[in-house]
Amino acid sequence: MTGPIAMNHASVAILAPDEMQVTVLPRRKGGMNMTQALDRNATISILNRILELELAGVVRYTHYALMVYGYSRIPIVGWLNTQADESLLHARQAGEL
């Protein structure tokens, strides 16, 4: 994705797991909600992919933080550890959905 998606209450976003592309579908009359619009298996697949990517980010950021050395390493290591913590938070949030 190149940027945020503008959506209103009358549309539903669907994220394709392989292409990481968002499709916005209009809601039908009668107030169909997002749970009804998304296929359950597609939703689980998307959430599993998000979980996979976020956990990979935790491992990468932590590994990079351990590999940094030198005079100015403290702020870099701090930033990498913060990113690892944020990725772990995102993984937990995706797992709770």
What per-residue confidence (pLDDT) applies to 35? 56
What per-residue confidence (pLDDT) applies to 30? 60
Residues 8 and 32 in one domain: yes
Write out the residue range of the structural domain in which residue 67 sits: 53-97
Q: How many domains does the chain have?
A: 2
11-69 pLDDT, tens digit per residue, is 445 555 555 555 555 555 565 555 555 678 888 899 999 999 999 999 999 999 999 99
User: Is residue 46 domain-resident?
Assistant: no
Q: What string of H, E and C letters represents the secondary structure of 17-74?
A: CCCCEEEEEECCCCCCCHHHHCCHHHHHHHHHHHHHHHHHHHHHHHHHHHHCCCCCHH
Whole-model pTM over 0.75: no
User: Is residue 85 domain-resident?
Assistant: yes
